[in-house]
Amino acid sequence: MSTDWLIVPVAYLGVVAGAVSGVMEARRKKMDVVGACVIGLITALGGGTVRDVLLGRMPVFWVLEPSYAWWAFLVALVTFYSTGLLVLTSRSILVPDALGLGVFSIVGASYGIQMQDSLLIAALMGVITGVFGGILRDVLCAQIPVVFARSTQLYATCSFVGAWVYLILLRWNVMASVATLIGIFVVVVMRLMAVRLNWRLPDPED
């Protein structure tokens, strides 16, 4: 049983969330529409791009499947010019962003495990796919990635944990479609709870 009927639309939702978050940050940095579109595209597509390059899956996914780039581009354009009308806050993209994080993480981990039979490498591919778009966004905005800050609620951690759950279920011979759905579910629920309950990582200085 393929889970593509579920995964593909949610992946597009993740691309939308990435493009919107990129444009929001670009506006905060006083960029013009070109800057905003570039940051939007990179935030939306950057994680999967880095994963594809590391694994040698080239040309990268959005060159093979241009509709991802079209979506990100049009969403970035519309978001940039509608900021007066539409008040966008990080709160308003929380749910699409969490869903995108879930799908990107599990898809990334599945590509990783196809290439190399190491759970750590596959989990890292999941995390890279899930969070590197946002890291590249922050690097291009000349700021320390938000995802690394102590004040940030669990984000990469959700991706990492969900990827391990998915990979261990696969190793236990659970059906791939079931493992995929559970993995995504773990990431999304953990992320939403982390925001709601303000979960952070333990710090040795505390």
92 in contact with a second copy (CB under 8 A): no
144 in contact with a second copy (CB under 8 A): yes
Residue 10 near residue 46 (C-beta atoms within 8 A) = no
Which one, 28 or 196, has the nearer CB to a second copy?
28
CB of 20 to a second copy, least distance (A): 15
Q: Which residue among 10, 23, 48, 73 contacts a second copy (CB under 8 A)? A: 73
CA distances from 75 to 2, 14, 55, 72 (A): 28, 12, 28, 5
DSSP letter assigned to residue 90: G
Which one, 41 or 165, has the nearer CB to a second copy?
41
CB of 167 to a second copy, least distance (A): 13
**Neighbouring C-beta atoms of residue 94, cutoff 10 Å:** 15
Residue 104 near residue 130 (C-beta atoms within 8 A) = yes
Contact stretch for a second copy (CB under 8 A) within 3-11, 118-126, 174-182, 184-192: 118-126
Instruction: Say which amino acid occupies 16.
Output: V
CB of 6 to a second copy, least distance (A): 26
